[in-house]
Amino acid sequence: MKKRILPVFIGFLVTLSASAQTYITRSGRVIFFSKAPVENIEANNNEVTSFLDIKKGEVAFVTLIKSFKFKKALMEEHFNENYMESNTFPKANFKGTITDLSKVNFYKDGAYTVTIKGDLTIHGVTKNIEVPATVSLSEGKINANSKFNIKVKEYNIKIPSTVVNNIAETITITVDCKYEPFKKG
């Protein structure tokens, strides 16, 4: 399954040079959280592939929907079959840019608050979003994280009326990626 993710980045990689400006992770993390009257639902995905070009501020990630893990197997089944339709829409992806890249000194330890703007595709629907993020540097290592909300109806995710109190209309998404220098080959 992981090998199917990489072709999504072929076009992105073509624009990147293999210099020290490009960073990658294949173990990024995305968490989604639904706070609803009946129950809270959380799912974790630790198989996110992401690229970061520190010179241009370009960032991209892709993840397989079936890689989200739940505490309850039935929730995972409903998520994949009924809501996300993961056989039809197998992945989610984002491609964007750090709009205020000049705020980040990639050669000095620290935490830098930035804005990332780009296209998020979920359930076959692409929306332009702008989200806050933090880029942290420590001993030459780069970590980037963001927390933002999406409305499920904006991505054509239908919630049956029988479970409308179980799933929130707005879902909180948390992204956390620890990058390493990209090496060709």
| Chain segment 73-108, per-residue pLDDT in tens | 998 998 999 899 999 999 999 999 999 999 999 999
- Is 171 within 8 Å of 84 (Cβ atoms)? no
Asked whether the predicted pLDDT for residue 1 surpasses 70, the reply is no
Tokens of 156: 């054509």
Bridge partners (DSSP) of residue 158 are none
Give residue 164's pLDDT. 77
Asked whether the predicted pLDDT for residue 122 surpasses 60, the reply is yes
Give residue 20's pLDDT. 61
Q: Give percent above pLDDT 90 in the chain.
A: 75
Give residue 167's pLDDT. 86
Give residue 185's pLDDT. 60
Give residue 17's pLDDT. 43
Rounded to whole angstroms, how far apart are CA atoms 4 and 47?
Answer: 12
- The pTM of the whole model exceeds 0.85: yes
Query: Can you name the CATH fold of 29-179?
Result: Lipocalin (2.40.128)
Give residue 18's pLDDT. 45
Give residue 161's pLDDT. 79
∠ Cα 70 65 11 (to 5°): 150
Give residue 11's pLDDT. 45
Over residues 64-71, the mean pLDDT reads 96
* 163: three-class secondary structure by DSSP: helix
- Is 52 within 8 Å of 179 (Cβ atoms)? yes
* φ and ψ of 9, to 5 deg: -95, 0
Minimal CA–CA distance to 77: which of 166, 68, 93, 1? 68
